[in-house]
Chain A
Amino acid sequence: MIKVLINGRLESFDKSLKLSKLLTLQGYKKGLFVVAKNREFISLNDYEKTKVEDGDEIEILEPMSGG
């Protein structure tokens, strides 16, 4: 069992997994979002090869209004 912080919420998974898999499990299919792992940007092209492990922090962001 691993624990991952996703947008500030602690989530559990059976074992380490690919970022692409995590996003699918969280309900993020193809859409308008960007991702950072442990506070570093992960490009869309790297979701498949990025491994998420115990203690990782994932931020999933979307467009919002701004000044």
Chain B
Amino acid sequence: MDDIFEIGGERLKSRLFIGTALYPSPSIMRDAIQESGSEVVTISLRRANANSGGGEKFFKIVKELGVHLLPNTAGCHSAKEAIETAKMAREIFETDWIKLEVIGDEYNLQPDIYESLKASEELNSLGFRVFPYITDDLVVAKSFVDSGCDILMPWGSPIGSGMGLMNEYNLRAIRERFPDIRLLIDAGIGKPSDAVRALELGFDGVLLNSAVALAIDPILMARAFRDAIRSGRSAYLAGMMKKREFASASTPIIGTPFWHQEKS
């Protein structure tokens, strides 16, 4: 089944966005990303060392994957830092895409919505395609849409926690209220069933990193997530039955033997 979706001006087949950090080795990272079927990877910037060449080696591997790059503003604590980081990322990675991430608290790495929103307004005005990492709050989501975003990335739970979807009600509400906005779950996905659930809720995709990179076998886990996301998406498109508070026999009763009928 071809289920192409458009996001940030690109047409994608895979609804899995995957990070490039925390893998046991660069070759496992490469193989896991390939196995995941993902067409978008997240990437960041760090202080360079003129003599190490580490950044170039890493970037060569990523470029050879032939996927779209989604640079992030990880580590930023203010709108100003995020905006400047985004400008640098645009030059070096040659993309208008930016995963906007402004951290507001070191304990749970919750995004600073106020600073993020300021950055979002500015970056949208500068022509960036902003992928904002936000909390799962409906009014916050609305503010980012009003700032010019047509993509939102509410957290499932704190970054790297693996706690899955903490508040399905909030996520459902965002989906319900913004049917035309691209919605990705960013952060907190721990296992494939979390991703299935996100897609069943009607989310357009999932962005994850730790759940694959920290698995005992990241390559196999990448495949598990690839399959999970396809499964969740198919379930959403197929239309799931409504939950009922009573039992309802699935086997037809017409033609049942007389001893069954006598008992009823």
Least CB distance, A65 to chain B, in whole angstroms:
4
Name the A residues within 8 Å of B210 (CB-CB).
67
Q: A33-B48, A39-B81, A40-B84 are in contact. Are A63 and B91 (CB under 8 A)?
A: no
Q: What residues of A have a CB within 8 angstroms of the CB of B80 in the complex?
A: 39
Q: Which residue of B lies closest to A43 (CB)?
A: B91
Q: Are A65 and B29 in contact (CB under 8 A)?
A: yes
How many residues does chain A have at the interface if contact means C-beta atoms less than 8 Å apart? 25
Distance between Cα atoms of A32 and B29 in the complex (Å): 21
Q: Report whether B58 and A64 are in contact in the complex, using a CB–CB cutoff of 8 Å.
A: yes
- If A32-B59, A67-B159, A67-B210 touch, does A61 touch B84 (CB 8 Å cutoff)? no
List, in ascending order, chain A residues with CB within 8 A of B71's CB.
66
Task: Please tell me if the beta carbons of A67 and B84 are within 8 angstroms of each other in the complex.
Answer: no
| Complex: chain B residue closest to A9, CB-CB | B47
Q: Is the CB of A61 within 8 A of B159?
A: no
Is B92 positioned at the interface, with any CB of A under 8 Å from its CB?
yes
Contact status A61-B88, CB under 8 Å = yes
**Which residues of B lie under 8 Å from residue A61 when comparing CB positions?**
45-48, 88, 92
Does A36 belong to the interface (CB within 8 Å)? yes
C-alpha spacing A26/B50, complex, angstroms: 7
Q: Shortest distance in angstroms between A19's beta carbon and chain B's nearest beta carbon?
A: 14
Docked complex Cα distance between A59 and B74 (Å): 16
Q: Map CB proximity to B onto A24-45 as digits: 1 under 8 Å, 0 otherwise.
A: 0011100111111001110110
Kindly state the separation between the CA atoms of A60 and B92 in the bound complex, as whole angstroms: 12
A60 to B47, CA, bound (A): 6
With beta carbons under 8 angstroms apart, the residue of A31, A60, A67 that contacts B42 is: A67
B55 & A64 in contact (Cβ 8 Å cutoff): yes
**A67 and B22 contact, Cβ closer than 8 Å, known pairs A32-B59, A40-B84, A44-B91:** yes
Contacts of B229 in A (CB 8 A): none
CB pair A63–B92 under 8 Å, yes or no, is yes
Tell me if B62 is interfacial: C-beta within 8 Å of chain A: yes
Q: Considering the complex, give the chain A residue whose CB is closest to the CB of B210.
A: A67
- CB of A12 within 8 Å of the partner chain: no
* B209 close to A34 (CB less than 8 A): no
Give the shortest distance, in Å, between B92 (CB) and chain A (any CB): 5
**Which residues of A approach B to under 8 Å, CB–CB?**
7-8, 26-28, 31-36, 39-41, 43-44, 59-67
Residues of B within 8 A of A (CB): 19-23, 29, 42-48, 50-51, 54-56, 58-59, 62, 71-72, 74, 80-81, 84, 87-89, 91-93, 159-160, 209-210
